[in-house]
Chain A
């Protein structure tokens, strides 16, 4: 089975840059998607196909993917960015696979 590994938590001060990683075997060969989930709310797609943003998502959200690690980068972090973030890929065997999630704390 294909496994995606995320750090449980990341902390950053307002205005700084947050980087959330997603590790997987040769993940660079797959398309990686990222979701933001605030407490009590449904997930929201923030990055798809490694680095594309849906309409309405601020340019502060960006993504990259190479080798065994994909990264979601949030620039100029705001208090409103505090949330859980999940990476996700499509795998031929396991179909839709999610990472365990990372809790972003804005200090």
Chain B
């Protein structure tokens, strides 16, 4: 079964840091482009960051640029999001999501994890 499982969420104070992880299974992780997408409480979906299969191409939303760092370890079938200088507005459920691997740069996400919750509050 194709699966993505996020972990690492929690409560952190403003200005603090947190590292999210996403473990992939049931597919060839190293061949897949990956994204992080977040959803603030009661709000819509917001794309956060993208990383290519090799890690050579990386993009960030303007809202997190300079504060968040995406990375991956294909040997461990894992995706990461290092979040620094966290703000209250970063409070959200964070999903990792796979780009369709059957199409080069598909532009859409065919598999999603269940998400991990990040709360930034004092």
Contacts and interface: CB of A to CB of B under 8 A. Distances in A.
A99 B44 contact: yes
A33 B108 contact: yes
B20 to A, nearest CB: 15
Interface in B57-108: 59, 61, 95, 97, 100, 106-108
Size class of the contact patch on chain B = 20 to 34
Contacts of A98: 44-47
Interface string A72-99: 0000000000001010111000011111
Given A48-B100, A96-B35, A96-B50, A43 B107 contact: no
Q: Which residue, of A42, A44, A99, has the highest number of chain B Cβ atoms within 10 A? A: A42
Nearest to B111: A45
Contact of B107 (A96, A99, A101): A96
The dominant DSSP class at the A interface is strand
A31 B106 CA distance: 10
B112 A101 contact: no
A97 B61 CA distance: 10
B19 interface: no
Contacts of B112: 42-44
Interface residues of A, number: 24
A43 to B, nearest CB: 5
A42 B47 CA distance: 14
B115 interface: yes
A61 interface: no
Contacts of A97: 47
Contact of A88 (B59, B108, B113, B115): B108
Q: Which 9 A-B pairs have the closest CB atoms?
A: A90-B107, A96-B47, A33-B108, A42-B112, A101-B44, A98-B45, A48-B108, A100-B44, A45-B110
Interface of A: 31, 33, 35, 37, 41-45, 48-49, 54, 84, 86, 88-90, 95-101
Given A42-B95, A97-B47, 8 more contacts: A33-B108, A37-B45, A42-B115, A45-B110, A48-B108, A49-B108, A89-B107, A100-B44
